[in-house]
């Protein structure tokens, strides 16, 4: 039963969160400590013929650059899954790959337990999508919103990406 849940979670990452298409080049980057997650993604990507998995040594800290070979592979990918102990989100390799058009999913420090239950089982296309769509309307045509709270506190929120994503989120 657990293996089926893990497979279903990885399929959700591929099809719902990343919206992968069969013709896209999918890259799964993993390291020694997260290889089980990387392999689970690989198994779930069986319907995607242009997939590659690359294993690199575990980085020492968040933001450390991947190996040159991984960075080169990221530049060629349409979709990148990063199942690594430490995040590559702030690396130049990740930034350049995204500037080159890649979609990037950070699965840093994921655990098998996270694939068995939790955020990936959210109803991204139902109630949650309606909630996110409503928030996105607040940003329509602008880059900032200032929500008010009952106690009168105000908080400024800035849109830091090029557009507001309304498909959902993954934990």
Q: Which domains does the chain have, with CATH numbers?
A: 2-119 (3.40.50), 125-158 (no CATH)
> Residue 48 has what pLDDT?
96
Contacts of 21 (CB under 8 A, 6+ apart): none
**Whole-number pLDDT of residue 148:** 54
pTM of the model: 0.76
Average pLDDT across each block of 10 residues of the chain; the chain has 171 residues. List them in order. 83 91 96 94 96 96 94 97 93 94 89 80 76 76 58 48 39 31
Instruction: State the CB neighbour count (10 A cutoff) for residue 101.
Output: 9
Chain segment 92-101, per-residue pLDDT in tens: 999 999 999 9
pLDDT, tens digit, for every residue of 59-106? 999 989 999 999 999 999 999 999 999 999 999 999 999 999 999 999
Print the SS3 string covering the chain: CHHHHHHHHHHHHHHHHCCCCCCCCEEEEEECCCHHHHHHHHHHCCCCCCEEEEEECCCCCCCCCCCHHHHHHHHHCCEEEEECCCCCCCCHHHHHHHHCCCEEEECCCCCHHHHHCCHHHCCCCCHHHHHHHHHHHCCCCCCEECCECCCCCECCEECCCCCCCCCCCCC
């Amino acid at each position: 039963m657990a293996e089926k849940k893990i497979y279903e979670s990885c399929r959700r990452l591929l099809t719902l969160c990343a919206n992968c298409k069969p013709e896209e080049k999918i890259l799964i980057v993993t390291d020694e400590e997260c290889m089980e997650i990387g392999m689970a993604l690989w198994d779930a990507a069986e319907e995607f013929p242009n997939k590659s998995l690359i294993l690199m040594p575990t980085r020492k800290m968040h933001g450390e650059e991947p190996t040159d070979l991984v960075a080169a592979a990221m530049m060629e990918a349409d979709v990148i899954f990063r199942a690594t102990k430490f995040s590559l989100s702030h690396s130049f390799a990740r930034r350049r790959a995204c500037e080159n058009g890649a979609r990037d999913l950070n699965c840093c420090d994921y655990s098998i337990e996270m694939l068995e239950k939790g955020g990936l089982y959210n109803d991204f296309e139902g109630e949650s999508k309606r909630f996110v769509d409503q928030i996105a309307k607040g940003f329509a045509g602008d880059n900032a919103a200032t929500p008010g709270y009952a106690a009168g506190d105000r908080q400024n929120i800035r849109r830091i990406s090029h557009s507001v994503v309304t498909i959902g989120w993954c934990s």
